[in-house]
C-alpha cells in the first residue's frame, strides 16, 4: 500500500517489545486476569515477542496469543484488499 517497509518493520518490533514488557502488568492493573483474554490481547498487540513472553507464564495464554496473532494477520490481509482498492 505504498508504505515505508523499514518503518513498518521497526514499528512492529517496537510494538512487540513494549507489549512484552508492559502488556501483562497493564492488563492486570485493568482487571484482566483470565488467561484467554490476556493471551488474546497480548497476541494481537505485541506479536511474537509478546507471545514468547507469555509462554514463560502459561501455555494457555501463549496458545491464545498465537491464535489471536494468526487471526489478526488473516483478517488484516483480507481487509487490506478492499481498502487498497478504495484508496486508489
Q: What is the pLDDT of residues 31-82, one digit of tens each?
A: 999 999 999 999 999 989 999 999 999 999 999 999 999 999 999 999 999 9
Q: What contacts 30, CB < 8 A, 6 or more positions away?
A: none
- The pLDDT of residue 61: 94
State pTM to two decimals: 0.83
Domain ranges of the chain: 5-87
- The residue assigned the cell 495464554 is 61
Q: What is the pLDDT of residue 37?
A: 95
Give residues with Cβ within 8 angstroms of 84, minimum separation 6. Answer: 1
- Identify the pLDDT of residue 2: 78
Evaluate whether 49 touches 20 at the Cβ level (below 8 Å): yes
Asked if pLDDT for residue 1 goes beyond 90, the answer is no
Amino acid at each position: 500500500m505504498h508504505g515505508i517497509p523499514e518503518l513498518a518493520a521497526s514499528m512492529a518490533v517496537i510494538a512487540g517489545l513494549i507489549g512484552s514488557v508492559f502488556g501483562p502488568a497493564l492488563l492486570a492493573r485493568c482487571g484482566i486476569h483470565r488467561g484467554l483474554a490476556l493471551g488474546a490481547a497480548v497476541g494481537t498487540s505485541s506479536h511474537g515477542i509478546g507471545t514468547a513472553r507469555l509462554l514463560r507464564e502459561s501455555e494457555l495464554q501463549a496458545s491464545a496469543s498465537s491464535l489471536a496473532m494468526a487471526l489478526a494477520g488473516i483478517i488484516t490481509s483480507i481487509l487490506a484488499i478492499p481498502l487498497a482498492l478504495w484508496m486508489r
